Amino acid sequence: MKLITYTHGGSTHVGAHANTGSTVVSFTQASGGDPRFTSMLGLIQAGEKALDDARSLLDSPPKEAIHSFDEITLRPPLPNPPRVRDCSLFIEHLQPAFLNMARTIAAKSDDPEAEYERLIATGNFDLPKVFAEQVIYYISDHTAISGPDELIIAPPETRQLDYELEFAAVVGTIAKNVGPQDAEKAIFGYTILNDWSCRDVQGRVMSSQIGPARGKDFDGSNTLGPCIVTADEIGSPYGMTMTARVNGEEWSRGSTSTMHHTFADAITYLSSARTIYAGEVIGSGTVLSGSPFEIGKRLKNGDEIELEVAGIGILRNRIQLSY
């Protein structure tokens, strides 16, 4: 199923793309107000029985629960995840990104080229081996969730807003010490994540070596959507084409087949002696060439960005910059 959260007639609904593909079905409405279908998080937390009941509602919905796409407004499919962690499951892009970060920092000096050479010589911008050896992650702001077609307003202090083309898994259970053989079964579904990043701000704070921090921390900085595709419909998630377009022009293309670590690796690692929760989001990190920063391009005010992952759909947003 392609699960969505949307508004219609002033109310919020949890539902899915209808089997016809031209309409959506409101589980909220079709179930007569069943509390399991009042929010996406509630549906995820209710477990497999709730998913089975949702499939039954999708197969034979009452007429009043069927809405056309032009009648609804999509919201983030999961507006209130209990936690969001962005992982470095793709690692190919990291070395070019680190070098570009050094360029950004050096550009502020009187002699940018000499400063760049000095920074590189420190070794601080080499790719540490630990990225290949284990899953590296940081905690994202789970309150800063935005959704399809929302306007993304860059913070006033940045002069370089970037998109990041990412894939994400949604956890479907509360668990601890999940073994590798069970990790895939802990995944509820998959969505697209745009990890918006203020590169100039990020460059400054990362010189402290404590993470991206303020460079990825602003209202709406984590965009999810347009839907959550349940794990049973995706099958293997490691052969999906990933594409980014700006104003209709393709800027980035990659594949989930290039992930160095899998989501199963991430779940095994994250749940080791720690609890993972139903509804939490695990980001993949950026696919190679998956941000303007890596390919020497810059976004401008009013640009429309489309991130697409085959089998999930297109996550579209327009940006507003103050520069």
Check: CB of residue 187 under 8 Å from CB of residue 175.
no
Q: How many angstroms from the chain centroid is the CA of residue 259?
A: 15
Query: Cα(8)–Cα(17) distance, rounded to whole angstroms?
Result: 15
> Residues with Cβ < 8 Å from 241, sequence gap 6 or more?
253, 254, 255, 308, 309, 310
Q: Which of 1, 22, 128 is nearest to 69 (CA)?
A: 22
Strand pairing partners for 24?
17, 67
CATH 3.90.850.10 is held by the domain 84-320: yes
Q: What is the pLDDT of residues 117-172, one digit of tens each?
A: 998 899 888 888 999 999 999 999 999 999 999 999 999 999 999 999 999 999 99
Q: What is the pLDDT of residue 320?
A: 98
Q: What is the pLDDT of residues 277-302, one digit of tens each?
A: 999 999 999 999 999 988 989 999 99
Confidence check: pLDDT of 41 > 90: yes
Q: Give the mean pLDDT of the chain.
A: 95
Q: What is the mean pLDDT of residues 70-83?
A: 98
Listed by start position, the domains of the chain span: 2-73, 84-320
What confidence category does residue 80 fall into, taking pLDDT thresholds of 50, 70 and 90?
very high
Residue 108: count other Cβ atoms within 10 Å of its Cβ.
11
Confidence check: pLDDT of 2 > 90: yes
Q: How many angstroms from the chain centroid is the CA of residue 154?
A: 18
Check: CB of residue 224 under 8 Å from CB of residue 77.
yes
Q: What is the mean pLDDT of residues 238-247?
A: 98
Backbone angles phi, psi at 7, to 5 degrees: -110, 145
Check: CB of residue 77 under 8 Å from CB of residue 312.
no
pLDDT exceeding 90 applies to what percent of the chain? 84
What confidence category does residue 48 fall into, taking pLDDT thresholds of 50, 70 and 90?
very high
Q: What is the pLDDT of residue 281?
A: 98
Q: What is the mean pLDDT of residues 177-192?
A: 98
